[in-house]
Structure 1
Amino acid sequence: MTARPRILAIAEAANPEWVSVPLVGWSLASALREVADVHIVTQIRNRDAILRAGLVEGRDFTAIDSEAFAKPMWKLAEALRMGEGKGWTIVQAVNALSYPYFERLVWQRFGAAIERGDYDIVHRITPLSPTSASSIAAKCTRAGVPFILGPLNGGVPWPEGYDAIRRAEKEFLAPLRSAYKLLPGRTATLRHASAILAGSRYTASEIPDRFQHKTLWLPENGIDPARFNRRATPAPGPLRAAFVGRLVPYKGPDVLLDAAAPLLRDGRMTLDLIGDGPMMPALRAQAETLPGVTFHGWKPHEAVQDILCRAHLFAFPSIREFGGGVVLEAMALGVPPLIVDYAGPGELVDETTGITTPIGPREQITRDFTRELTRLAADPSQLAPLAENASAKAQSHFLWSRKAVQVARTYDWVLSGSPQPKPDLFA
């Protein structure tokens, strides 16, 4: 296309001041403004933060007040999840029930404009969860306006043998997660979508075969160079590893301490743990006899960047990550990751940009991490090529500006109107 496409970007969660899904929604929606004429539609709780980011209400975005239904449903989800940061599948189940009201209000506000042809494409960015159907998809089809869905992500199964950790995370609905495929509207949403962006290869594999011809892989997370804009310069000396994340069992900070213990005791490495969570007291007790361990607690992005830039290695034995945004952030800084090859991180890291170990029982992961840490501690300089490649890949593929270009290829493909192969979003 020669003219910039006119995009109505539905991002119920889009907030530049929050993290996780709201930050993804905001980052992608705002980046798309560089390649298209975008009007963002979001929930009213994001209004003030978007105004502070400099957008003009009415011209650049519209805030939809769905609080009459969203607020009590959020309170219900908070009560059912029984702990901050836990019960993610419960939250998604409740959101799947409350989201249709938001879309109903969006159509009331923008339905006439869509039918009039004021927008070339309607793109639903968030919710990311594949459990949330869209009534607008069919209405766009009837109006002759392409509807794009995604990036969808989530639903990665808990690996075998981790039921105790799953229960500790209040993931009681996880064994029933496949039931979302039976929810009313799911198949219709996929059928009416002109393109489906899958935020992980696992999520892409869950899309029925008859819709695979219009399913494209676009990893959920990206890099904001304003937040992560430095390059790691670790000092000579022992291997310096860092961990960033919530201190909960499935992210494996205790596994990392066990794996690193022999090297910490004899001064072959140091370890920075960045983050907070319910495991903090137990981790401090575990590390009491281990020299070279620093607990930094929660830190803002700027401080996280400062600490990571002193590290040779990002050590992250998490066994269940949907997107792996923190892995990308480490790569962008030139800190190669050591990860468990499962779900999101395993899709981002290859042998040229980091080190992967297979998923398995806790004892196996501990042994594998000890082996790799021992090998790297013998000569940290061997990480230099991985650091260079990791930074280059983050810059070439995963900046939000690059992701906007990748999505623009999807827009061109959808608007071309002629059958052709799916675009290579990473060309």
Structure 2
Amino acid sequence: MQRVLVIAEAANPDWVSVPLVGWNIAVALRGVADVHIVTQVRNRAAFLSRGLVEGRDFTAIDSEAFAAPFYRLAEILRGGDGKGWTTITAMQSLAYPYFEHLVWRRFGNAIKAGKYDVVHRVTPLSPTAPSSLARRCRRAGVPFLLGPLNGGLPWHPDYGRERIKEREWLSYIRKAYAFLPTIRSTYANASAIIAGSGHTSSELARYRRPMVYIPENGIDTDRFGFHPRTRAQSDPLRLIFVGRLVPYKGADIAIEACQGLLKTGRARLDIIGDGPEGLALAMLVAKLGVEEAVTLHGWKSHAEVADYMRKADLMVFPSVREFGGGVVLEAMASGVVPIVVDYGGPGELVDNRSGFAIPIGPRDKLVRLVDRLTKTIVDGDHDLTAMSAAAANRVEQLYSWRAKANQIRGVYDWLRQGDGTVPDFGFSVCANE
């Protein structure tokens, strides 16, 4: 079993987004390698509460004196809760190098002495975060692995209004990061990169480093387990949308596109999530006269979301800018067939047997496509029972955290063998082409 130092500055099971991904990957890797996790001190209590032993299983690095001011500045600059993610990422990238400085101070001698077979930086997930460890590990003769890296999906030109609403001012100059000497050094010295999306793979191709494609997101199949569907043809189609209620997520598109089925009682729609668009969505429901068929539930816990998933047949998730799309995997694991936009992460998660990916375009085009597709589904033109089982099977085989840990272990083995053959784990970057 390989000895791996896993760098996961953001890793916390009690949080969402990057920290939750970091936690799940780091902990899953403990099942396939001899892993010691290095994280930031703000995660220490969560690690201890899950039974990990400090010093044996993990080390908490206290970089708060430097990091805390950047986090506070990011909260001021982002323009509102849940907005300005590019600003948050930029501030974190500025604060992160000090964390790695402290990591090297703590583990540098052990790395140089060959105590670890691989040093693997799991988080930050952003390709814009530099790493001084890459150069130091290369000098020590120890493979340094980056990833899964994901982010930077360009805003589609049809959604400039949504871009402005999200306070994504820095996204206009994001590509400038590639010219930073620290970034060039990071990729020049990395032994390999795990790309978490097709876009990131293409973005990082310029560095000509060995690259493996493994989608960023995974899923806890014990929490979101498969439940066979027993829907009769005459039963209403049970639709679900789960996500932050913001313009680019497309909850309004789901409502408007399905209004015909909702008005006639051929479908019901559960919307789970909260956000600034909540009131506007409630007004849209009233305007369209579909109050009896649409329920806005607000925020729900993961356990409650899992319960709603078990009752749904189809997820309508027309988000126009998703890096990963973890909620799509939650749906698929539960046997819910997803309808997604083929732009970014969600379109890479499904294939023609397990879901539907519609081409991106202006809002009115997406409304028409979802409308047309859902009507054909209600009419029985697609075997939802077979697709439901295929979706759950696809997740279990490719996207469970257990599967992901085994995929990454394959990368470790490849690095150790050094035979030049890049692993292929059966993912398709463009699943619906």
1:128 alignment partner in structure 2:
125
1:266 alignment partner in structure 2:
264
Contact 2:228 2:389 in 1 (8 A): no
Equivalent position amino acid for 2:354 in 1 = T
Contact 2:145 2:190 in 1 (8 A): yes
Distance 1:208 1:349 in 2: 24
Equivalent position amino acid for 1:225 in 2 = T
2:430 alignment partner in structure 1:
none
Distance 1:297 1:232 in 2: 26
2:402 alignment partner in structure 1:
401
The gaps in structure 1 that reach 5 residues or longer are none
Change (3 A) 1:381 1:206: closer
- 1:362 and 2:363 equivalent? yes
Provide TM-score, normalisation by structure 2: 0.95
Shift of 1:208: 3.1
Shift of 1:229: 2.4
Q: Secondary structure at the match of 1:338?
A: strand
Provide TM-score, normalisation by structure 1: 0.97
Q: Secondary structure at the match of 1:320?
A: coil
Equivalent position amino acid for 1:398 in 2 = Y
Distance 1:386 1:341 in 2: 18
Q: Deviations over 1:254-299 (max 9, x none)?
A: 1111101111111111100011111111111111221310111111
2:379 alignment partner in structure 1:
378
Contact 2:39 2:61 in 1 (8 A): yes
Q: Secondary structure at the match of 2:411?
A: helix
Measured on the aligned residues, the alpha-carbon RMSD in Å equals 1.3
Q: Secondary structure at the match of 1:34?
A: coil
Q: Secondary structure at the match of 1:130?
A: coil
Contact 1:235 1:310 in 2 (8 A): no
Distance 1:41 1:70 in 2: 16
Shift of 1:356: 1.3
Equivalent position amino acid for 1:378 in 2 = D
Equivalent position amino acid for 2:214 in 1 = L
1:84-123 residue pairs with structure 2 within 5 A? Answer: 84-123=81-120
Identity %: 54
The gaps in structure 2 that reach 5 residues or longer are 428-433
Q: Deviations over 1:75-95 (max 9, x none)?
A: 000000011110000011111
- 1:233 and 2:243 equivalent? no
Q: Secondary structure at the match of 1:89?
A: helix
- 1:309 and 2:310 equivalent? yes
Equivalent position amino acid for 1:240 in 2 = R
Which of the residues 140, 145, 149 maps onto 2:142?
145
Contact 2:226 2:392 in 1 (8 A): no
2:46 alignment partner in structure 1:
49
Equivalent position amino acid for 2:224 in 1 = F
Change (3 A) 1:67 1:234: farther
Equivalent position amino acid for 2:357 in 1 = T
Q: Deviations over 1:402-425 (max 9, x none)?
A: 1111001100110113x3311123
Q: Deviations over 1:193-249 (max 9, x none)?
A: 11100000110001134525x101010000112321242535430111100000000
Equivalent position amino acid for 1:242 in 2 = I
Contact 2:337 2:384 in 1 (8 A): yes
Equivalent position amino acid for 1:215 in 2 = M
2:284 alignment partner in structure 1:
286
Contact 1:232 1:335 in 2 (8 A): no
Distance 2:208 2:33 in 1: 26
1:343 alignment partner in structure 2:
344
Contact 1:273 1:297 in 2 (8 A): yes
Shift of 1:184: 2.5
Q: Deviations over 1:100-129 (max 9, x none)?
A: 011111111111111111111100000000
- Moved >4 Å (runs of 4+): none
Distance 2:2 2:415 in 1: 11
Which of the residues 215, 222, 233 maps onto 1:219?
215
Distance 1:304 1:96 in 2: 32
Contact 2:187 2:207 in 1 (8 A): no
1:245 alignment partner in structure 2:
243
Question: How many pairs are equivalent?
Answer: 422
Equivalent position amino acid for 2:135 in 1 = A
Distance 1:67 1:227 in 2: 33
Equivalent position amino acid for 1:64 in 2 = I
Which of the residues 155, 159, 162 maps onto 1:158?
155
Shift of 1:161: 1.7
1:23 alignment partner in structure 2:
20
Q: Secondary structure at the match of 2:111?
A: helix
Distance 1:210 1:253 in 2: 38
